[in-house]
Chains A and B, each alone.
Chain A
């Protein structure tokens, strides 16, 4: 420090607040807010925190301005404000996870996961819903992944001009269609062939595919775009045909990203309720054949348990929450696996 020459009035070492200063300021301002609120008789924890942040920002600014100067004062104020905004954003998520876990765990037992509810009045398990969710979603993935990835290949490698732009636009529109519309579309489609009132697992898969394909296209397109052009050129310069360049160079380079995108898209559609209400129906026994008869799934199961509880209402509510907990667990597992695949198989691209 001392060796560095200093301009006058520009000392490198100045006053520094201790490490605990921001926390202390925040805690102090909360206490102050609480005291004032109690005195006026309007005390709630939420109000205390809101005023605590506001007073804390002012307090840390003043304290830091005196000790450290104006630049550090602004830095500390903004840091506190951003940390508060982050905490605010995390509150709904944390509270959701806590609530689902608290209410779902009582209903979640071995029977819930392994037994169906056939012939049981006001009880039974949700195995039929679990199997249905996995089968319906699995079929949807099988339909969506080839279509989605091939469409993305078209958009990045082949499409050009107006047609490409039009397709991109419609993919964007498709990502925004309400899920019930996808369900009605699938129903209308199958009604043409099987007559009114038809309910099949695969109808639900088609409805989910309508929702999933645009997400897969979007994510795959982004991943294929970042495969550097010089790799394609290197393959072309070896006299490699375009289709082989895509299958042997572009797709393997993008593999991790493609898998991750598919996983996230799957997690996104696995909890859909509305399109499955009108396509797969409701059933109490296990049915793993998507081409034959009605199929239950977790989201619709939770909805029904909550909407029309049996004689023992609390038991029905517990089962609804347990189904929600299982869904969230599946989504989390998908996300964790996606991250793992990405870390394990990602290609270093310069």
Chain B
């Protein structure tokens, strides 16, 4: 068994590049999903029925599709519609679009729970719409939604493991190539599990520091 972990250690550069790719995938798609969420959220809350329905359809649709199937559709399904994307683009796109639905729903909830009067005070004090959003709406919104957004980021990290099926060289893919090359499944996979766990701990540390900032203001 020690010997198996020795083999994994020898292949550490492969694992570390997998970890780096997983981190890049997760961070990029989480940031993009959050930004996209900010576009979908106002649509969800729109007074125009067709806009709200379309946004609601997207969000509910995404939340009911298993991520693995969604990734299959983009990578293997889109080419039959004439859209051919490489595995990185497909993976990022799948993670982003899928999680944008969750981000939008998270932001909608936090937004709806924000008191209306401080925002109105911003308008009365002469804040233009853009500055109002940036200075007075966004910061309390992110503080309120921070823990749930962090939770979703952990979900994104775990979902990214599915992208091994489209041959994206992320952490799970690295672990499974090590095990198939040397036949050390337990050592390879358990090492990957610990690396995922470490990544999630970093996120949790970030979340708890947001939590401390938010608590001081509650």
Q: Do A and B originate from a single complex?
A: no
Chain A positions within 8 Å of B, measured between CB atoms, are: none
